[in-house]
A and B are shown apart, each in its own frame.
Chain A
Amino acid sequence: MGILEVKDVGKRFGGLQALSDVNLSVKENSVHAIIGPNGAGKSTLLNCLVGKLIPDTGSVMFDGQSVLGRTPYEINQMGISRVFQTPEIFGDLTVMENMMIPCFAKRDGAFRMHAIENMMAEKDIVEKAEAMLVDMNMADKKDMHSASMSRGDKRRLEIGMCLAQEPRLLLLDEPTAGMARADTNNTIDLLKQISDEREITIAIIEHDMHVVFSLANRITVLAQGTPLVEDDPENIRGNPKVREAYLGETA
């Protein structure tokens, strides 16, 4: 029984069956990669997990509880964090403030009226956010206006923000897209470290096979809305069906 159990999920957009009969089980403390051609429905599946979309059929259980019908923030409070394909950060806020918000969300829940306290006097939050920035190698950008960072930095910040919430399941939608090789390698290390040290389960969508094969313990290949195969990385690499549908000659 995995921490995340997806059963028979289907989703239709108008005339397009984006997902059908998706079954997926993500084991606790594993790194589970979801790969597949463009338009296979990977992001759609992710959206169904976090409450952005409601699947037409099937069920999604996280840690024994159904996530369906819950709002995104409720699902997040259950322990699922998500990194978006195009970075979603608080552009008007500084990097430090961006990092503090998830810390508050973790400590205080979905809503708390703390209108009089001084934000900076919340020692535990400030320390945690600073530590996280150091972990993300962004301490020097602390007071920067986050909207004016380059895209790679934005993505790193977003990952950091998700980690600061200490989620139990981290969902990443192409976290290294557009990242320089050096940073990609750093991110791989970081994610490895996360899954080893923080006991966070990771589900990752990625087209960069270098990243996928460096991280994943388990891979699901999605094609045209249904899982094609699910297997260990080595087997996937050799699978002719996968090669044809997805990997091409290069892998």
Chain B
Amino acid sequence: MNVKPDFSKGHNLAETAPAFLSIWNMESYYGESYIVQNISFNVHEGEILALLGRNGAGKTSTLRSIARMDSPQVTHGEIWLDHQPLHLMKSHEAAAAGIGLVPEDRCIIPGLTVEENLQLAQIAPPIGWSLDRLYELFPRLGERRKQEGVTLSGGEQQMLAIARALARDIKVLLLDEPYEGLAPVIVDEIEKTLRIIKEQGITTILVEQNAVRALELADRSVILDTGGIVFDGSANEVLSNEELRAEYLAI
């Protein structure tokens, strides 16, 4: 079932892309299982998009596809970021093009200290926030800078993962369940941070189980179910649409 990417249908999105980040007919596979099923959506510059859905709906897979990770394998479709064809890139090229993914299991690198984890992010250009500025935003990390990253508590790891993304000069921040495992006070704080990030002009896609919280923050929302898009519209619309909330978000 190894479908070769087929870009022949030629919407030349490079010029006509309607938005900052455009996903067009994207399909991805884990081995032979078809996970992301032909989805298209746009994200505008500077906005926060909430990507919602049940467990297993395909949110993580979508983010990983956009970041051009090896799995799931994108077999069809186009992804354009600011006129750059992400679908033709490998993950490190996509990262250089401005994608910053905070993965759901944080992926702090074993064997490296907190500071080294951050330094690692600043090896390849473009470089973003300075370490000092990051420690200012997350003082806890500053205190723990010599500790091995993986021995941090869950919440601290989450901060490190976000800081690591910001250490690079990114255009789009992909956040996979950033609130998971965080104390309510910290969630508040991260939310504040996200607003600061937004003010910096960074576009964000936020995947979150706590839909209400996410929607309050987001401008727009896309809801996934079994690998397909079931809703694409403004965040307020979701909050006001009882049916949608009950069916796909159980809220």
A touching B, CB within 8 angstroms: yes
Q: How far is the CB of B77 from chain A (nearest CB, A)?
A: 22
Q: How far is the CB of B58 from chain A (nearest CB, A)?
A: 9
Interface segment, one of A108-116, A122-130, A132-140, A174-182:
A174-182
> Which of B8-16, B120-128, B166-174, B181-189 lies at the interface?
B181-189
Contacts of B154 in A (CB 8 A): 38, 43, 85, 174
What are the residues of chain A within 8 A of B183 when measuring CB–CB?
35-38, 207, 246, 248
Residues of B within 8 A of A182 (CB): 54, 250
Query: A73 → chain B, closest Cβ, in Å?
Result: 24
Among residues of A, the one whose C-beta sits closest to the C-beta of B158 is A38
- Chain A's closest residue to B53 (CB) is A180
Binds B, one of A60-68, A94-102, A148-156: A148-156
Q: How far is the CB of B147 from chain A (nearest CB, A)?
A: 8
A251 on the B face (CB < 8 A): yes
A35 to B140, CA, bound (A): 19
B interface footprint on A198-231 (CB within 8 Å = 1, 0 otherwise): 0000000001010000000000000000000000
* A179 near B188: Cβ-Cβ < 8 Å: no
Question: Is the C-beta of A197 less than 8 angstroms from some C-beta in chain B?
Answer: no
**What is the CA–CA distance of A180 and B55 in the complex, to the nearest angstrom?**
6
How near does chain A come to B181, taking the closest CB pair, in angstroms?
A: 5
Q: Does A185 contact B (CB under 8 A)?
A: yes
Given A43-B153, A179-B209, A207 contacting B182 (CB threshold 8 A): yes
Number of A-B contacts (CB under 8 A): 93
Interface magnitude class on chain A: 35 or more
B151 at the binding interface (Cβ < 8 Å): yes
Interface residues in B, total, Cβ within 8 A: 33
Q: Which residues of B have CB within 8 Å of A247?
A: 184-185
A178-B104, A178-B180 known; A152+B188 contact, CB < 8 A: no
Q: CB within 8 Å of A: which of B126-164?
A: 140, 147, 151-156, 158
Identify which of A35, A39, A148, A183 contacts B155 (C-beta below 8 A): A39
Q: Is the CB of B56 within 8 A of A181?
A: no
Distance in Å: Cβ of A213 to nearest Cβ of chain B:
12
Residues of B within 8 A of A183 (CB): 54-55
Known: A153-B56, A180-B55, A207-B182. A248 touches B187 (CB 8 A): yes
Cβ of B105 under 8 Å from chain A: yes
Q: Which residues of A contact B152 (CB under 8 A)?
A: 39
Across-interface contacts of B147 in A (CB, < 8 A) = 16
Smallest Cβ distance from B99 to chain A, in angstroms? 22
In Å, the complex CA distance between A248 and B179 comes to 14
Could you say which of B33, B151, B182, B250 contacts A180, with CB atoms under 8 Å apart?
Answer: B250
**How far is B46's CA from A141's CA once the two chains are assembled, in angstroms?**
41
Chain B residues numbered 184-225 whose CB sits less than 8 Å from any CB in chain A? 184-188, 209-211
Q: Does B251 contact A (CB under 8 A)?
A: yes
CB-CB nearest in chain B for A18: B153
Q: Is the CB of A250 within 8 A of B188?
A: yes
A-B contact pairs, 8 of them (CB 8 A): A38-B183, A39-B155, A151-B104, A178-B104, A207-B184, A246-B183, A247-B184, A250-B188
7 other contacts beyond A13-B151, A38-B181, A248-B183, with CB at 8 A cut-off? A38-B153, A38-B186, A39-B155, A178-B55, A179-B209, A180-B55, A183-B55
